[in-house]
Structure 1
């Protein structure tokens, strides 16, 4: 049966038929690091490393694997970010503000960008009725604003989930961009007033890569290959490179040196703009 649902959120416009994007300082590739800082519920399944115990309550194996990120992994990751002068674009579950205030404090001292990322990654947003979703989004955004002193500009849904109402509800709350639609190497305007899409990646993403058996040296090479191809593509119009990280994955001890090597490579590139998703969105909107 043919689909009766048309995509009204954005139009098709190939990358070959757009005005040129010029990044600050003549940079060719705008790079941001999307750091997923999340809270998980003890009695609900979520991202897992082992499927055999996901239906148990408590699921000590998978919950503990996820919880490593907030307890240990993020602090190791912060060391690399600081070493290479990279500010995180934090995809923040609002429950983090209650459960891990030390992470908020560390991010505030480093001027991280804060994006709303739902309440917890144990609860997806799909199929919420509009009034329930409006209350939910308002609570998430207000909680993050209270905890960070900054009202978020960007959004990524837990599991990259939305409803058909999400973009317009976020616009009502003053947000200006989404990361959920991973379909481009450049920002583009949505058919919602004052709302754009900024590139994110489910491919250049530690969960996807390491979940498929990618090794540390292979991860470094993949980061290099991604940058080099985007740099080649950007000869006449700028591109965006997003690196998606989760502290419970990239923060494992045996992966740490490879993240450091990847960031060292990126920080040394003469044509890169080391920035945040907030600054990418703002520059695109006002160019």
Structure 2
């Protein structure tokens, strides 16, 4: 017998009941902006080039560029196009770059939990230590934002067997860790249902650019093609959620921003036909639907 996770059952795409997003839209689109802090000379971190001996200044400085420069370019582009974002923030960013956090808060962006730092994985911790990590990150964000985050994306998408239970126990209502569907599904936890909202591992600049080494134009084309194909599918089909995952140290480089702006302008140009939203708004809508429309739990 194969080991199973027990969080949800198999729900085939064909045959599911249809429902709509606000305004009758069938396609919801949100931007996941990752704001991440990394330790100097230790811990985990994405690499531009193969890392050398610690402190590996090349890769640390490349990542820090995103928090100093790239993230601000992204804020300007979102302002220009009138797009909101779900900000996936390491709680360490609240001390490292408070003005950047404040800028997103002033825009009305949703702040979602993303651990303490991307220098660590929570999946390697015992349950007590993992619960403490979640509590520490949540409390730090709530202290500045005045409200606790409702959504969580683990650093490195790393989960232990207990993570969904710990998130639900800590008051989280949705997770972005599971990329197993094109629509939200309810997960079972020891503390009640937790909504899994699709977070992309394809339309995501880390696997696309940092791993597969796609160019800026190729990534922008990916966004446009993914959007256009989903729009085609949903016009007479089931509702979908399209996430676009962005990391300022990657996408915030000038030539990549230029290509991204064109792609996001294409998406924004269809705002009368799709629902441009945040992940939290997706949760709110799903939570208000009649039981049975959304699979799971």
Bucket of the pairwise TM-score, normalised by the shorter protein: over 0.9
What's the counterpart of residue 178 of structure 1? 175
2:124 match: secondary structure: coil
Q: Unaligned regions of 5+ residues in structure 1, if any?
A: none
1:215 CA drift (Å): 2.3
Q: Distance in 2 between matches of 1:59 and 1:175?
A: 36
1:17 CA drift (Å): 2.8
1:11-38 alpha-carbon deviations (Å, 9 max, x no partner): 1101213221310001121000000001
Report matched runs for 1:99-178 at 5 Å: 99-178=96-175
Q: Unaligned regions of 5+ residues in structure 2, if any?
A: 290-297
Report matched runs for 1:20-169 at 5 Å: 20-44=18-42, 45-53=44-52, 56-169=53-166
State whether structure 2 residue 232 is matched by structure 1 residue 232.
yes
What's the counterpart of residue 271 of structure 1? 273
Q: Distance in 2 between matches of 1:154 and 1:29?
A: 20
1:256 CA drift (Å): 1.2
2:140 match: secondary structure: helix
Runs of 4 or more above 3 Å deviation: none
How many residue pairs align between the two structures? Answer: 283
Q: Distance in 2 between matches of 1:77 and 1:42?
A: 24
State whether structure 2 residue 231 is matched by structure 1 residue 206.
no
Is the Cα–Cα contact under 8 Å of residues 86 and 112 in structure 2 kept in the other structure? yes
1:173 CA drift (Å): 1.4
What's the counterpart of residue 283 of structure 1? 285
TM-score, normalized by length of structure 1?
A: 0.95
1:169 CA drift (Å): 1.1
Q: Distance in 2 between matches of 1:172 and 1:126?
A: 17
1:220 CA drift (Å): 2.3
2:139 match: secondary structure: helix
State whether structure 2 residue 199 is matched by structure 1 residue 197.
no
Q: Distance in 2 between matches of 1:251 and 1:121?
A: 18
Is the Cα–Cα contact under 8 Å of residues 121 and 158 in structure 2 kept in the other structure? yes
What's the counterpart of residue 215 of structure 2? 215
What's the counterpart of residue 9 of structure 1? 7
1:236 CA drift (Å): 2.7
Q: Distance in 2 between matches of 1:112 and 1:195?
A: 22
1:219 CA drift (Å): 2.1
Is the Cα–Cα contact under 8 Å of residues 80 and 259 in structure 1 kept in the other structure? no
2:29 match: secondary structure: strand
